[in-house]
A and B are shown apart, each in its own frame.
Chain A
Amino acid sequence: MATLTLRNIKKAYGAAEVIKGIDLDIEDREFVVFVGPSGCGKSTLLRMIAGLEPITSGDLSIDGKRVNEVGPADRGLAMVFQSYALYPHMTVAQNMGFALRLAKVPKAERDAKVAEAARILQLGPYLERRPKDLSGGQRQRVAIGRAIVRAPKVFLFDEPLSNLDAALRGQTRIEIAKLHEELAVTMIYVTHDQIEAMTLADKIVVLQAGRIEQVGSPLELYHHPANIFVAGFIGSPRMNMLPVAVDGVSAAGVSVRLPSGVALTIPCSGAGLSAGSALTLGIRPEALRPDENGPIAGTVKLVERLGGLTLLHVETEGIEDMIVQLEGLSLVDLHQQVRFSADGAALHLFDQAGQALPALARHSLVA
């Protein structure tokens, strides 16, 4: 049982403020992922929750109790480090049992807990080995095991998969998801990999420059990004952004004119917009379909065939490199003229401040 509450949390190094006031509620047994570009403060925020960095101002509460001044060991948390931070001179069993040894837990009980953690993580055969004799994936599991043994209320992960190769990363991702289900604890996970964020999270927190840009479920962030930054950050390949001008506002949504002169109607609320004002239109690469009568025309500049998917880089008016993602093998040739259409519900409009215009209808999968 653990809920976390962050209220106006700030972190400053001298005059430089790196975390500029974070408000966040984390429910019990929730899997929360912090994502953001490098230097956005996501690791710093995690280390402040862990107690490794002092909090400059604001309140951090665990289960309703303010813990700003509580030491890292007494907050009931466990952390898995990016570098794993295993103790090189201890065996796997000693590494996992270190916290219990410091807490003066009797040896028999300690051994039982280590054995249980080793069973969950399939580390049984390696208990007497040193970290240097283990592979990267095994070290990763020992680091997780060290956290499990302490039976923490909250697990913290600081980019735990970034030192693994792609295949192992996918596998460990699934193991962490299983672990979350099996242990039923709150987990906070920092990553810059949006696939990890999308697949693992109950709730994603998108951070940029020390501020929260948006909090929501993975699909909410994908279908209803709050602003241009989130729209560009979530989804791969990136969302295409086109400058457009408002034609008029009606009950069906906002009519805009593309740079090529073609008009489109997007089902967004256009309250307060006047004709002629400039907006940004966001189209996801996977929302575009080839259509002989489609409104968007362009020339194919580059074709990337990935087998199951084909990525087209299209030059069209207003955007030099519009990416189109097509299912299966497309036979489109280089320099060919193509036309596309897009489902209005999959289009996003952003005002000049970068904020999204609210969609008239929520996506069916997002409550």
Chain B
Amino acid sequence: MSASLTGPAPGHDAKAAPAARPVARSLLVMPSVLVLLAWMIVPLAMTLWFSVRQYNLLDPSIHGFAGIDNYTYLVTDPDFWASLENTLILLVAVLVITVCLGTLLAVLFNQPFPGRNVARVLAISPFFVMPTVAALIWKNLLMHPIYGVLGVVAHAFGVPPVDWFAHYPLFSVIAIVSWEWLPFALLILLTAVQSLDTDQLEAARMDGAGSIAQFFFITLPHLSRAISVVIMIETIFLLSVFAEIFVTTAGGPGNATTNLAFLIYSRALLQFDVGGASAGGMVAILLANIVAFFLVRTVARRLET
């Protein structure tokens, strides 16, 4: 009895603890694991289920098993291929713009100049504007042919104003999304530039590297990790851009700015075809996983070295 009061005997403790602890540990972890699993599995299973059902909100009387019909309709729909193309163009264009400009700005904002801290805050602030608001500002205050700043400037020079969303719809969406994500790239890359050892730059100067050679041989390789992190995170978010499109063009004109996320929305809540929308959702999951697979693998390999 006295032993159990002061603590288990040493031999007993050593044998029993490893066996007992994992069970207790997994029991304690179980609730959160179950919640997270349900959180993921239930919507996934329901989407998969709906995608093989005939399910139209306008006419509940039509129901039943659809087989692969939803998928067949989807892949034979020209809108679907257009939306895939738009999704990828948007993704690649925004990535190129934000990473290239972000790298240049990061190097620029690392140079000492008067008012640097204020300039940094201003450059980063667009990231804190919510997407719907950002899109509305661009649509009504900047790009509107009559009220917009760009239109006024065009007028001042005697040039007919451009109706951006009518004539260059996808370009306009790319501009808005790039404006939102450039600060993010800048923020990550600026911290990376700041961590560059100045001795290395000085050694390069001694070796005869000018500013351009220093940038390409020293700074850019140093930034490669940060750039891959930016690409990975942005890709995840850019595959599902929705608010900017919904607020500005509603996917139009025609299907010019319809990406996969907007296509699924319009199938489900404009055409009330839940089955078809679910099939689109499955394609989105597939696409995201393909991208994630390659991306995570390459990024992980880069982070190792």
Contacts and interface: CB of A to CB of B under 8 A. Distances in A.
Interface of A: 50-52, 71-74, 77-79, 81-83, 85-89, 98-99, 102-103, 146, 150
B285 to A, nearest CB: 36
A102 B213 contact: yes
A150 B209 CA distance: 13
A85 B200 contact: yes
B200 A77 contact: no
Q: Is the interface of A mostly helix, strand, loop or mixed?
A: loop
Contacts of A71: 205
A102 B203 contact: no
Interface stretch (B119-127, B172-180, B216-224, B256-264): B216-224
B199 A81 contact: yes
Q: Which 3 A-B pairs have the closest CB atoms?
A: A73-B208, A85-B199, A99-B207
B208 A102 contact: yes
B202 A81 contact: yes
B209 A81 contact: no
Please indicate which of the listed interface residues B203, B204, B213, B217 has the most CB atoms of chain A within 10 Å of its own CB: B203
Given A79-B203, A98-B217, A102-B213, A85 B197 contact: yes
B206 A79 contact: yes
Given A83-B197, A87-B217, A98 B204 contact: yes
A98 B206 contact: no
A102 B207 contact: yes
Interface in B200-238: 200, 202-209, 213, 217-218, 221-222, 224
A51 B206 CA distance: 8
A81 B198 CA distance: 11
Interface residues of B, number: 17
Contact of B222 (A52, A73, A82, A89): A89
Nearest to A78: B206
A103 B203 CA distance: 15
A78 B202 CA distance: 11
A269 B297 CA distance: 80
Given A51-B206, A102-B208, 11 more contacts: A79-B202, A81-B202, A81-B203, A83-B197, A85-B199, A88-B222, A89-B221, A89-B224, A98-B207, A98-B217, A102-B213
A87 B206 contact: no
A89 to B, nearest CB: 4
Contacts of B203: 79, 81, 85-87, 146
A326 to B, nearest CB: 44
Nearest to A84: B199
A82 B197 CA distance: 12
22 contacts: A50-B206, A52-B205, A72-B205, A72-B206, A73-B207, A74-B208, A78-B206, A79-B206, A81-B199, A81-B202, A82-B199, A85-B199, A86-B203, A87-B200, A87-B204, A89-B224, A99-B206, A102-B207, A102-B209, A102-B213, A103-B208, A146-B207
A52 B208 contact: no
A151 to B, nearest CB: 13
A88 B213 CA distance: 16
A73 B217 contact: no
Contacts of B207: 73, 98-99, 102, 146, 150
Contacts of B204: 87, 98
Interface in B26-41: none
Interface in B248-291: none
Interface string B103-144: 000000000000000000000000000000000000000000
Contacts of A81: 199, 202-203
